Amino acid sequence: MDRHDDMINGLSIQRLEMHSGAVTKLQLAAGACLTNQQGSLWITRSNDSHDYWLMPGAGLSFPHAGLVLLEAYGDSALTIEPRRPTRSVMRWLSKVLHALAKPRCRWNSRRCTPHAS
C-alpha cells in the first residue's frame, strides 16, 4: 500500500494505492470524499448498516466523521479529499474573485485614470 500527498489548489488530496486483497482502515473527517481511480473497492463504515462497492470513477462522500474499512478487489487506487468549502467560504471566495476581475482603471474620453478604492 502506497500513500501520496499532493496539494491541489490549496486543498490537501491524498492518493492511496492498494494491492489486490489488501485491507486498510481510515479515520475520515466529516465531509471527506473518496473517489475510486482504479480497481474495485468494498467499503464499510462505523455506525452504517450498509456496505458499499466503489467502481472506477465512482465517488462516495461521508457527511459524518468516522472509521472506514476498505478492501481492494484488484490493484486499486483512490483519492481522499477533505471536506468541501462551506457556503460562506465560497461566497467570500466569489467576492474576492469578482474584485480581482474588476478593471483597474476607468476610461474617460482621453485617458485611463486609476479607480479609487
pLDDT at 48: 85
pLDDT at 4: 44
Distances (CA, A) of 29 to 33, 55, 60, 66: 9, 22, 13, 7
pLDDT, mean of residues 38-46: 92
Domains by residue range for the chain, with CATH: 2-81 (2.60.120.10)
Distance CA 62, CA 45 (A): 9
**Is the confidence at residue 44, as pLDDT, over 50?**
yes
pLDDT, tens digit (0-9, with 9 covering 90-100), for 8-23: 344 567 888 999 999 9
